[in-house]
Each structure stands twice: as structure tokens, then as C-alpha cells.
Amino acid sequence: MSSNNHTPSPLVELLRRYSVLIILIGIAAIFALGSEKFLTASNLLNIALQTSIIAIVAMGMTFTILTAGIDLSVGSVMALSGALAAGLAVRQELGTYTAITLALAGGGLLGLINGLLIVKGKMPPFVATLAMLAVARGLTLVYTDGRPISGIDERFIFLGNGEVLGVPLPVIFMILAFIIAFIVLRYTRFGMYVYATGGNEEISRLAGIQTARITVGVYVISGLTAALGGILLAARLWSAQPNAAAGWELDAIAAPVLGGISLFGGVGSVTGTVMGAFILGILSNGLNLMGVQSFYQQIIKGVVLILAVMLDLFTKRRR
């Protein structure tokens, strides 16, 4: 009788379960020793603020990766949504909240198109969203005519720079997004089917799950979170930049990967994604505090990504 019931040592099991958290704490400990300013309340809030927007986008990305897909278009969708929100508010004078709502819908629509290209067009997610990356960036440049859109009002700016009880608003949005994503993935039918579809689409389909709808759904979510991120970014910068968030898709993918979400689908949690985003945020912040040049920071980030994934693979192997 074959059996794979080997019991790993408690230490390995602990490492396996909390490897992301251990890396996060380890990196934070190094910076705390290296810089006195690191462990101050104001710096920690600063880290949360710097991490918040990418964390929001990465949470949407997590849904696509859980279905064994990917969304490369998030950076461009962020830029287009930010430009739409600012443009509709400033040029069309639609009112800030109407403009923002329409911009969010626009992001959701781009996600819907991604999803339909994948499900109906049978395109690999990589290709469909790579095309969307180009198209959405082009639309942004056309819409903004290549120039920043400024002149947004205070209510808009408040979203990116305001505070409630001392907590920056983007951080509050991040916390809300986390709570919603956590509940959806943990407690709802949709969340469960996201894992099932990513685990094995054929088995899921035979169990009566409409996997096409699930797939479209995750790209809509990713479009919506990218739009929210883009709007917050525009608010933070007081203007919508045509080149905003260029290349951010890489960090939005790195965060879930650091957080232990398998690119093959079906494994991981949004908690991991947030921790992954914070690893990236803490690295930037801490390296800045220690006066490391930004060119070197890139190299260190890449190396940390490799080490974290190697540790993850090492603890999960041998079964």
C-alpha cells in the first residue's frame, strides 16, 4: 500500500506555514537594527501609505493568479482610470464622485474585456492582458494628449492625502479592500470556486461550476482594484499623469508571489499578498533610510524575491 503520510518535523511545518511572515519580520528586524528611525510610529505609517496602493492592486491580481491566470494590464488600467477620473471631473465637470464612479466602472469594463478575451477568445491570460497593457496605455496617452491632467478639487485630493483619526485614507482603503477580499475568498461560493477553478478547471466544470464566469469575474475584480489604485495614485499626486504606474504590474505580481501564491493557481491567500506587498514596501523604505542608492535597491529587491521563493519551494517540497 502506497502512502504519503510522512510527518514533517514541527520546525519545517512552522517554516512552511509562516515563511512569508518570518521573512517580513526578519527584514524588518534588520532595518530596525540598521536605522533608529525605522521603528517609529510615523515611519511605520509612512510604510503603510507607500505600500497601500500597490497592495490594493496586488489583491485584485491575487484573484487572477489564484485561477492560474495573470493580469499584466494593471499598470495601464491604473493610468487610464486615474486620467478618466481627473479628466471627467476637471474637463467635463461631472462632479468628483460621479467622475470617480465612472472611472471605476471603466476599470471594471477593461477587466471584463480581458476576461471575455480569455474565456470566449480562448486566449492565454498572458497574451490577452499584455495586449490590454498596450491598448490601455495608448488610450491614456490619447485621452490626456500626453500631458498631465491637473486641477482636481480638494475632495479628490483628500482621497490620496487626507487622514481619518491619523490614518491616511489610502491605508484605510487598503484595509477595507483586504477585509472584502478576505471574506470573499474565505466565506463565499465565488471565492471557493476561484480556488477550485485554479486547482483544476476540468474537475471544477464536471462538478457543475461555471468556470467561465469565475474567470471573467476575477479579471473584472482585477480591473476594479487597478482602477481604485489608479484613482488614489492620481489623488496622491494632485494630478493624473499619462505615464502613471508604468511598470507597476511587476510589483503587483511580485507581491502575491512573495506572499506564497502559486502561479499555477489554486493555492494562497490574500493575507500572503498583503505581507508580500509589505516586504516590498519595507525594503524600499528601509534601504532609503540606510541611504542605499536606488540602483542598488533594484538588485536587492530582485535577490530577496529569489530567496523568498526558494525558501517557499524548499519548505513545500519533499512530499
Partner 1 sequence: MSETTPILRMSGISKSFPGVKALQEVHFEVARGEIHALVGENGAGKSTLMKILTGAYRPDSGQIAWHGRPVTIASPSDSQTLGISMIHQELSLLPYLTVGQNIFLGREPQGRLPGFINWQALYAQAQELLERLSLDVKPRAEARELSIAQQQMVEVAKALSLQADLIAMDEPTSSLTDVETEVLFTMMRALKAQGVAIVFISHRLEEVFEITDRVTVLRDGRHIDTRPTSDLTRDKIVELMVGRELGNIYPYHPTEQRDLVLEVSDLCDGRELKNVSFQLHGGEILGIAGLIGAGRTALAETLFGIRPATGGHIKLAGQPSKIRSPKQAIQHGLGFVPEDRKQQGLFLNMAVRENITMSGMGLVTNAGFVDNKKANGLAQKFVEKLDVRTPNLRQNIRNLSGGNQQKVIIARWLTLSPRILILDEPTRGVDVGAKAEIHALMRQLAEQGVGVLMISSELPEVLGVSDRILVMHEGRITGELSRDEATQDQIMVAATGGVENVVK
Residues in the site for partner 1, rule: CB under 8 A? Answer: 1-5, 187-190, 192, 195-196, 199-200, 203-204, 206-209, 266-267, 319
What does the chain come to in residues?
319
| Residues facing 163 on adjacent strands | 168
To the nearest whole angstrom, how small is the minimum distance from the Cβ of residue 214 to partner 1? 12
The three-state DSSP-derived secondary structure of 242-311 is CCCCCCHHHHHHHHHHHCCCCCCCCCCCHHHHHHHHHHHHHHHHHHHHCCCCHHHHHHHHHHHHHHHHHH
Buried b or exposed e, range 57-89, using 16+ CB within 10 angstroms: bbbbbbbbbbbbbbbbbbbbbbbbbbbbbbbbb
Rounded CA-CA distance 201/74 in Å is 24
**Grid cell at residue 206:** 464536471
To the nearest whole angstrom, how small is the minimum distance from the Cβ of residue 13 to partner 1? 12
Q: Which is nearer to partner 1, 114 or 269 (CB)?
A: 269
Q: Which is nearer to partner 1, 159 or 261 (CB)?
A: 261
- The answer to whether the CB of 266 falls within 8 A of the CB of 194 is no
Q: Which is nearer to partner 1, 79 or 221 (CB)?
A: 221
To the nearest whole angstrom, how small is the minimum distance from the Cβ of residue 212 to partner 1? 14
Q: Which is nearer to partner 1, 207 or 303 (CB)?
A: 207
Q: Which is nearer to partner 1, 71 or 201 (CB)?
A: 201
To the nearest whole angstrom, how small is the minimum distance from the Cβ of residue 198 to partner 1? 9
Amino acid at position 143, single letter = Y
Q: Which is nearer to partner 1, 66 or 72 (CB)?
A: 66
Q: Which is nearer to partner 1, 192 or 212 (CB)?
A: 192
**Grid cell at residue 276:** 508580500
To the nearest whole angstrom, how small is the minimum distance from the Cβ of residue 298 to partner 1? 33
- The answer to whether the CB of 288 falls within 8 A of the CB of 298 is no
Rounded CA-CA distance 213/218 in Å is 9
To the nearest whole angstrom, how small is the minimum distance from the Cβ of residue 56 to partner 1? 22
